[in-house]
Chains A and B, each alone.
Chain A
Amino acid sequence: MNRQGYSSLNPESLPGPHDISRTALKNGITLLVRPNINTLSVSIAGYLQAGSLYDPLKKLGLADFTTSTLMRGTKKQTFQEIYNSLESMGASLGTSCGAHTAGFGGKSLADDLNSLLEILADVLQEPVFPEAHIERVRSQLLTGLDIREQDTSEMASMGFDQITYAGHPYENPGDGFIETITAIKVEDLVNFHKTHYGPLEMVIVIVGAVDPDNALKLVEEKFEGWTNPKQPAVIQVPDAKRLEKTIRKHHTIDEKSQTDIVLGVVGPPRNAADFYPALLGNSILGQFGMMGRIGESVRKKAGLAYYAYSSLTSSIGPGSWSVSAGVDPKNVDLALELITEEIRTFVDGPVTSEELKDNQSNFIGKWPLTLESNGGVAGALLSIERHQLGLDYFKRYEEMVSAITPDQILKAARKYLDPDRLAISTAGS
C-alpha cells in the first residue's frame, strides 16, 4: 500500500492554455473550445444570465418554467421537429435553471455538431411558447411539485434554505410553489425570455472531436448576430446573515419510514479566499472515504444511517455548508447529537496533518477521472469561466491545494461553522 503523498498532475495532459481556445464574441458571448481527438463525440455546455433570482416573488418558478418550455417550439420548428432531429441523430440537448443562470448541455456524434448548435441557437433565440405546450408543461411542473411535497429529502433541503437564507434571495426554491406556477401566464414566459435571454455574459463550451477554428466559425454563424438591448445588468446578491442561535424546524409528511435531516450554516462564495480551506475541511468532515468523520460516527459506529455526509456548495453568492442524513424517525435526536458533536470537534481543534495529506492527495488525484469524458471536461471549463479561475487553473491547482494548512482550515471552520448557531431542518413522519 502506498502511504506516501499523491501522484503529481501532468499539466500537459490536463486542459490548459495550451489546448483551450477562449474567444470573446462581439456581442458578449464567451466561447471555450477544447479538442479531444480520442473520442467520437462532442459535448456542449453553457449558461446565460436568466436564473431564478430574476423571478418576481409572486411568480416564483418563472425562470425554471421558461427553461422547461424553450424546446417546445420555435419560429422555425415544432416541438416534434426539434426532438425528431435530436433523437434521430442520437443526440441530446437539455436546459436547466439555477439561481443565477439558465443552463444548457448536450452531446452528439462529432459529425452532428453543426445540427446540435443549430437547434441550440434556435431554441435559445426564437422560442414561441405555444399555449397548448405551456399547459402541458405546467401540468408536469405541478405534478413535480406534488411529488416534491412527499419527498423527505427535498422538503428537508427546502426547509434548510428557508431558515438559513430567511430574507435573502437564496431563500426561495427555484421551482416555485403550486400557487406561483399556477399564476404564470404565457405572456410572462414570453416577456421573461424577451428580457433576460441574450448574449450578455453568456458562455458556451465545446469539448470533443472538433477543430477549434471550426467550432468558432459555427458559433459565430449561429450566435454572433444575437443581441438584446433590454437585457438587464447581471444580478448581484448580498451577503447572508448568520443565525444568532440554532433554529430547528420539522416538516411533517405522514407514513414515511425515514426522516431526512439537513443542517448547517451559510458558507463562503466560490471566489472567497478561504473557499479551498473550507472545501478541504468539508471533505475531512463529511466526504473522504466513507463520508469522512460524520460517516464514521453516524453510519459506521452508530449504524444509524445509510447516508450521512457534508456538502459545501460552489456558489457565486454565499453558498451553504451543510450536513445531510436519512434516519429512522426514532433516531433523529441521536443523529443530530452525533452530527453536532462532530461539528463541535471540528471547530475545536485543527485537523491532523495525516487527514490533511490524505485529502490533498484525493483532491489532486481525482482530476484525471473527472476529466476522462468530454462532458467532464466541459463541466470543468464552465466552472473555470463562471468563477474566473483562469485557464491555467489546473496548472496552479496542485500547488494551491498543497499549500493549505490545518490552521487555515480551522480558521475557515470557525468563521462559518458554529454548533450552537445551526439551521436544522427535518422532514418525515
Chain B
Amino acid sequence: MNMLEPIPTITLSNGLQIKLKEIHTAPLISSWIWYRVGSRDEVSGRTGVSHWVEHLQFKGTERFPADELEKAVSRTGGIWNAFTYLDWTTYFETMPADKIGLALELEADRMLYSTHDPEEVESERTVIISERQGRENSPGFRLGEAVRNAAFRVHPYHHEIIGDLADLLSLTPDNLFQHYRTYYAPNNAVITVAGDFDTDAMLQRITDLYDRVPAGDDPPRINRPEPPQQGELRVTVEGQGETIIGNVVYHTPPASHPDFFPLLILDSILSGPQGLNMFGGGGISNKTSRLYRRMAEEEEVVVDVHGGLPATIDPYLYNLSFIIHPGSTSDAALQVLDQEIKRMQDAPPRQEEIQRATKQTRALFAYGGESITNQAFWLGFSEMFASYEWVTGYVENLEAVSPKDVQRVAQAYLKPQNRVVGFYYPHNKGNGTA
C-alpha cells in the first residue's frame, strides 16, 4: 500500500490550482482551500488581520447566511474549521461523500462574497481579543511571544499570528475588507480534495464552480528579510506560578532549503519524532531522545523537553521548550542543553539513529494516513512553501541524510550567536539561578 505518490496539479485559466486524491476506504471526502496569506503578509499596525479575516469567513455570504451554513455542515455530521498560520490560511470540510457539494459551493462563494458586515466585525473584535486573553493566561504563550519578538526584529514572523492587542483594538472594517479582497483570489489559492470520489467528476465540479471567477492582481509581498543576528539574545518574562519554563530558538533555513531535512533528523535525534499529522494518528514518545534522556533522566534539570522545526517559506526557527525541574535552575538546564548540542557538533550521530528517525516517520505517516482529513491536508500544506513532492519525498529525503550532514547543520545553525534564550520566571524565584 503506497499512500504517498506525487499527484499532478491542475491549474485553471484563472490561476486556481487543484490537487485531487481518490481514496475509497470510507464514504467521506475532505475538501480544503488554501490561500497564500498569513501573518507573514502583515505589517505593524495591521497584525492579526489575516486571522481576523479568517473568522469573518464564517459570518456567511448572501447566498449562505452564517446560521444556515453552520447548520448545514453540522447536519451532515461533518467537521469544518480553518487555520491561520505564518504563511497560509486554510479552510476545510470533511463530510459524507454525498454531501460534499455543499462545501465546494460554499468555498467558491466565500472566496468572493463574504459579507463583512461592520457589526459582525465589531462583535468578532471582542471574540478575538478574548481568544488572545485566553492564550495570555498561559506562561508558555507569553514566553514564546517574547522570544519570537526578539528573534525577528525586521521580518513579519516577529509577531504572533493572532496579532498585537493594539492592532486588535484599532483595525477597521475597511482594513479587513481590503486584506480579504487582496489575498482571496483564485490565483492565490490551492484546492485539495481527498476521499471517496471520481477524479474526473470532481474536477468537473470544481471547474464549473470556479472557472468564472476572475483572477485578481498578484498579491503584494513584504520583502523584509531578517538580518543575521549579531550575538546571543536573552529574554526573561516574569509572572505568577512556581515553575520556570525555558524556550531556546535557533534561526534555521526555510523548508525548501537543502539543509532542512538534515535539521529534521537532528531534531528527531535531539528531541524526538514530530511527523506531519494534524488530524489524529497520534505521536511517538521521545523518552529515548538525547535531550530527554540527558536533561530529564540523567541530570534531572528538566521534567520535560520538546522540540519542533516548522516548515515555512522564509527562514524561521528551530524551537526547544522545556520545563525546569523544581530542584534545578535555568542555568543548570541551559548548561546541559549546551553540552548535548556540543556533542552533536563534535561527532556525527550513529547511522542507526538516522534509521530510527526514518522508521518513526514512516510509522507516523501510516497512522496519519488513516484519516482522509490528514490526506487532504498533506496535499495542500506543502504546496504553501514547496510542493506536494516535499511530502511524497519526505521519508526518502530523510533517508538520504548522512551522519556528517547532521553534524554539519548542528555546527552551522546551533550556534549561540544564532539563538535567543528565553526563560519565564515566577516572581518569587527571581531572575536567574534560584
A interface residues, Cβ below 8 angstroms from B: 1-3, 6-7, 10, 13, 38-41, 79-80, 83-84, 86-92, 94, 107-109, 136, 139-140, 142-143, 146-147, 149-152, 253-258, 288-290, 299-307, 326-328, 358, 361-369, 371-376, 428
Q: A328-B130, A364-B77 are in contact. Are A107 and B327 (CB under 8 A)?
A: no
Bound together, the chains give a CA A375 to CA B139 distance in angstroms of 32
In this complex, what residue of B is CB-closest to A325? B130
CA distance A149 to B273 in the complex (A): 30
CB closest chain-B residue, reference A374? B370
Within 8 A of A (CB), among B106-131: 122-131
- The 14 sampled A-B contact pairs (Cβ below 8 Å) are A2-B72, A6-B75, A40-B1, A92-B285, A107-B367, A146-B243, A151-B137, A301-B123, A302-B123, A303-B124, A306-B128, A365-B99, A375-B370, A376-B280
Q: Do B370 and A87 touch across chains, with their CB atoms under 8 A apart?
A: no
Q: When the two chains form the complex, which single residue of A6, A88, A363, A372 contacts B359, counting CB atoms closer than 8 Å?
A: A88
Asked if B325 is at the interface of the complex by the 8 Å CB criterion, the answer is yes
Let me know if B285 and A83 touch, CB within 8 A. Answer: yes
Which residues on B sit within 8 Å (CB–CB) of A256? 136-137, 240
Interface centre among B129, B325, B363 (most CB of A within 10 A): B363
**A323 to B: closest C-beta gap in Å:** 16
CB distance from B412 to the nearest CB of A (A): 27
Question: Which chain B residues (358-388) contact chain A, with CB distance < 8 Å?
Answer: 359-364, 366-367, 369-372
Closest to B130 in A: A306
Across the A-B interface, give the 9 residue pairs with the lowest CB-CB distance, nearest first. Answer: A365-B77, A90-B363, A289-B70, A366-B77, A257-B133, A303-B123, A306-B131, A83-B287, A303-B126
Q: For the complex, count residues of B whose C-beta is within 8 A of A.
A: 80
- Cα of A176 to Cα of B241 in the assembled complex, Å: 18
B239 at interface (Cβ–Cβ under 8 A)?
yes
Contact A140 B28 (CB under 8 A): no
Question: Quick check: is B242 within 8 A (CB to CB) of the other chain?
Answer: yes
Closest beta carbon of chain B to A206's beta carbon, Å: 15
Which residues from 7 to 64 on chain B have a C-beta closer than 8 Å to any C-beta of chain A?
25-28, 58, 64
| Pair A143/B370 contact, Cβ less than 8 Å | no
A40 to chain B, nearest CB (A): 4
Residues of chain A contacted by B363 (CB below 8 angstroms): 41, 89-91, 108-109
Contact of A365 among B78, B133, B287 (CB under 8 A): B78
- Asked if B94 is at the interface (CB within 8 A of a chain A CB), the reply is yes
Compute the total of residue contacts between A and B using a CB distance below 8 Å.
215
A1-B77 CB under 8 A given contacts A299-B127, A326-B134, A375-B282? no
B74: interface (CB < 8 Å): yes
Asked whether A258 lies within 8 Å of B134 as measured between CB atoms, the reply is yes
Q: In whole angstroms, what is the CA distance A300 to B296 when docked? A: 45
Tell me, yes or no, whether B303 is within 8 Å of chain A by CB. yes
| Chain A residues positioned under 8 Å from B241 (CB to CB) | 146-147, 149-150
Additional A-B contacts beyond A6-B75, A143-B303, A362-B75 (9; CB < 8 A): A13-B26, A13-B27, A92-B284, A147-B243, A258-B134, A289-B70, A303-B123, A358-B75, A365-B78
- Distance in angstroms from A240 CB to nearest chain B CB is 30
A364: nearest chain-B partner, CB-CB: B77
Bound Cα distance A364, B58 (Å): 24
Contact A369 B77 (CB under 8 A): yes
A3–B285 Cα distance when bound, in Å, is 45
Q: Which residue of B lies closest to A329 (CB)?
A: B133
- Could you say which residues of chain A place their CB within 8 Å of the CB of B132? 257
**Residues of chain A contacted by B369 (CB below 8 angstroms):** 39-40
**Of listed B74, B242, B272, residue having the most chain A CB within 10 A:** B74
Interfacial chain B residues near A304, Cβ < 8 Å: 126-127, 130
The answer to whether residues A152 and B125 also contact, given A7-B96, A361-B77, A369-B94 and a CB cut-off of 8 A, is no
